[in-house]
Amino acid sequence: MTSSRTPRWRPGSDPRAVFHPPPRPADAPDGREPGDRHVVVVGGGIAGMTAALGLAERGVRVTLLEREGGLGGRVRSWPVTLADGSPSRMSRGFHAFFRQYYNLRAVLRRTDPALEGMRPVEDYPLARAGGGSDSFAGLPTTPPWNLAAFVARSPSFDRRGLAGVDVEAALRLLDIDPRRVRAELDGVSAAEVLDRMRFPDAARHLALEVFARSFFADPRELSGAELVTMFHLYFVGSAEGLLFDVPRDDYDTTLWEPLGRHLHGLGVETSVHREVTEVLEGDDGRLAVHTLDLTGGMRPEVFDADAVVLALDPLGLRKVVGASPALGGDDGPGGRWRGRVAALRSAQSFAVWRLWLDGPLRAERAPFLGTSGYGPLDNVSVLDRFEDHAVAWADAHDGSVVELHAYALPEDTDEPELRAALLEQLHRVYPETAGLHVLDECWLVERDCVLVGLGPWAAHPGVGTPDPRVVLAGDAVRCDLPVALMERAATTGWQAADRLLTGWGLPGHGVWSVPLTSRLGRVPAVARRAIRAGRRLRA
């Protein structure tokens, strides 16, 4: 439910951003002080850090457990030593911090109120093989003028292609209700949504090969509702614009080390290299979180908790829930909730290849380039355009730091062949790289991101579980607001904290979103009815 008392403060530049208040605190709290309650947060990514922050700010004692050696989850970075002995950094790839990511930015503002650690990206062009490119620079920020300006100047929407568009179907993009579209498009793929609209081929590539694949999914397997909801989030629902920011240096240095220190100052105890194996019933109605210390000979340790936040990727969540027979409480015949968790799917693998080259790229190269039709290459990042450590290395070596991304890899991908194809496509996209030598490289392939597939959205596990002591958070968790990726992780992190806090009679925080209704009011619906009426008359 949306508050009628929306705060005067706004999280961005859009005056129509919507505040969603937390649940009303329980009327009959048990009288315990917040500091007498202990919550174990499992997972130190964005969702886990957000939940820990929300709880600790209300005085709850929090222990944050993370399997890796640092915070950040899938948006973490870590140190590497190059062949010449110089220090550098590596991560799992480029992440765009859009300005409508209100709830994630609320977390970052705890340590950087003015977000001075973020650098605006002036453009992220999208290049198609065979010629033609799209740009998001210089567009109006307010819908629908942003979309109209983009279509008017984009070679993806030529006159001949636009003539074949199903206008009635396309108008639905201007009249999205994010709260209903999930049910309306259950079982419909992103590819089928574009088929129904009869978009021109170039526009389909823009939507499917660039946008859909950035969700690490084959467009035929990605939920059409997810595609349409993201269209609302980025294009027609928000007036924050289509550009984004990136950290000025690597994720750990810029974002997560400061946030980790802030959490410590709030009393949060963080334990890294700590893998949670199971969550069992403990003593006196508490939960027992069983762990292994991955640095100390796999030494086991148990943490007692009044409540647990499971802020894990799909693989980790399935593993912990599967090993914890009583987790989720009495869920009726068949263990419906546990079945929902077990049904969560991971998206296809993706590859990240960071190259330290012995020469610079041309000055006009964009920090981030999306590609379509260049074999397995989905985008190219030029890190020495925006990350300080890469800038320093490039200056010292008269070189460049380039990263190649390949999403939604087929199951039978041959990695040597993939690397050769990526390098070949890099030389096509940026021909000057063909004359450069690779001084060092880091290569990784991962498969731990969520797939929002064709199954019923309502079957995805949400923040709440049948056991009020257990809540979920993360981008694999159902959230009925128009949020995705990092913002879904942060939003469900706040919601997980609020669910526990208000259940104990404590005040929550609430979350923000872009508007939930069309900015054009009834105009798109009226236009669709007029088109249908015209078709009936012609028939």
| Same domain flag for 55 and 200 | no
DSSP string, 69-115: SSS-GGG-EEEEE-TTS-EEEEES----EETT-HHHHHHHTTT-TT-
Q: How many domains does the chain have?
A: 2
pLDDT tens digits, one per residue of 317-359: 999 999 999 887 666 644 789 999 999 999 999 999 999 999 9
% of the chain beyond a pLDDT of 90:
64
Q: Does the residue 254 lie in any domain?
A: yes
pLDDT band, very low/low/confident/very high, at 6 (cuts 50, 70, 90): low
| Same domain flag for 202 and 316 | no
All residues at 6 or more sequence positions from 396 whose CB lies less than 8 Å from its CB, including other chains: 86
| Same domain flag for 341 and 320 | yes
Examine the pLDDT at 4 and tell me if it is beyond 50.
Answer: no
How many C-beta neighbours within 10 Å does residue 112 have? 16
Report long-range pairs for 140-143 (Cβ below 8 Å, ≥24 apart). 141/13, 141/239, 141/240, 141/241, 141/242, 142/239, 142/519, 143/174, 143/235, 143/236, 143/237, 143/238, 143/239, 143/519, 143/520
The DSSP letter of residue 39 is E
| Same domain flag for 318 and 294 | yes
Q: What global pTM score does this model have?
A: 0.93
| Same domain flag for 206 and 329 | no
Q: How far apart are CA 123 and CA 100, in angstroms?
A: 16
| Same domain flag for 177 and 260 | no
pLDDT tens digits, one per residue of 124-143: 888 888 877 888 888 888 88
Among the three residues 204, 239, 274, which one is the final residue of a domain in this structure? Answer: 239
| Same domain flag for 147 and 282 | no
Q: How far is CA 207 from the centre of its chain?
A: 17
pLDDT tens digits, one per residue of 492-506: 999 999 999 999 999
All residues at 6 or more sequence positions from 374 whose CB lies less than 8 Å from its CB, including other chains: 127, 129, 425, 428, 429
Arithmetic mean of pLDDT, 373-382: 94
Examine the pLDDT at 430 and tell me if it is beyond 50.
Answer: yes
Examine the pLDDT at 421 and tell me if it is beyond 90.
Answer: yes
Q: Does the residue 229 lie in any domain?
A: yes
Q: Does the residue 294 lie in any domain?
A: yes
**How high is the mean pLDDT of the chain?**
89
Examine the pLDDT at 176 and tell me if it is beyond 70.
Answer: yes
Predicted local confidence at residue 278, as pLDDT: 97
* C-beta separation of 25 from 263 below 8 A: no
Q: How far apart are CA 61 and CA 33, in angstroms?
A: 10
Q: Does the residue 467 lie in any domain?
A: yes
Predicted local confidence at residue 179, as pLDDT: 77
| Same domain flag for 231 and 258 | no
Q: Does the residue 4 lie in any domain?
A: no
Arithmetic mean of pLDDT, 443-466: 92
Q: Does the residue 486 lie in any domain?
A: yes
| Same domain flag for 459 and 339 | yes
Closest CA to 351 of 216, 453, 210, 237: 216
**Helix 224-231 / helix 190-197 crossing angle, nearest 10 deg:** 70
All residues at 6 or more sequence positions from 31 whose CB lies less than 8 Å from its CB, including other chains: none
Among the three residues 239, 266, 299, which one is the final residue of a domain in this structure? Answer: 239
All residues at 6 or more sequence positions from 473 whose CB lies less than 8 Å from its CB, including other chains: 43, 47, 48, 50, 51, 309, 310, 311, 463, 489, 492, 493, 495, 496
pLDDT band, very low/low/confident/very high, at 66 (cuts 50, 70, 90): very high
| Same domain flag for 333 and 467 | yes
Spell out the SS3 assignment of 476-492: CCECCCCCCHHHHHHHH
DSSP string, 258-301: HHHHHHHHTT-EEE-SEEEEEEEE-STT-EEEEEEETTTTSEEE
| Same domain flag for 334 and 469 | yes
Among the three residues 239, 261, 289, which one is the final residue of a domain in this structure? Answer: 239
Q: Does the residue 415 lie in any domain?
A: no
Spell out the SS3 assignment of 429-479: HCHHHHHCCEEEEEEEEECCCECCCCCCHHHCCECECCCCCEEECCCCCEC
Closest CA to 212 of 191, 196, 197: 191
Examine the pLDDT at 303 and tell me if it is beyond 90.
Answer: yes
Predicted local confidence at residue 331, as pLDDT: 66
pLDDT band, very low/low/confident/very high, at 27 (cuts 50, 70, 90): confident
Predicted local confidence at residue 3, as pLDDT: 44
| Same domain flag for 169 and 313 | no
pLDDT tens digits, one per residue of 230-285: 888 888 889 998 889 999 999 999 999 999 999 999 999 999 999 999 999 987 88
Closest CA to 171 of 538, 537, 533, 526: 526
Predicted local confidence at residue 126, as pLDDT: 87
Kindly compute the dihedral angle of the four CA atoms of residues 189, 190, 196, 201, in this order, to the nearest 10 degrees: -140
Q: Does the residue 17 lie in any domain?
A: no
Arithmetic mean of pLDDT, 276-305: 92
**Best-predicted range by mean pLDDT (76-90, 133-147, 284-298):** 76-90
Domain with 57, as residue range(s), is 38-73+250-346+451-508
- List Cα–Cα distances, 237 to 122, 167, 485, in angstroms: 21, 19, 17
pLDDT band, very low/low/confident/very high, at 31 (cuts 50, 70, 90): confident
**What's the length of the chain?**
539
* C-beta separation of 335 from 324 below 8 A: no
Check which CATH number belongs to the domain holding 308 and give it.
Answer: 3.50.50.60
Examine the pLDDT at 454 and tell me if it is beyond 50.
Answer: yes
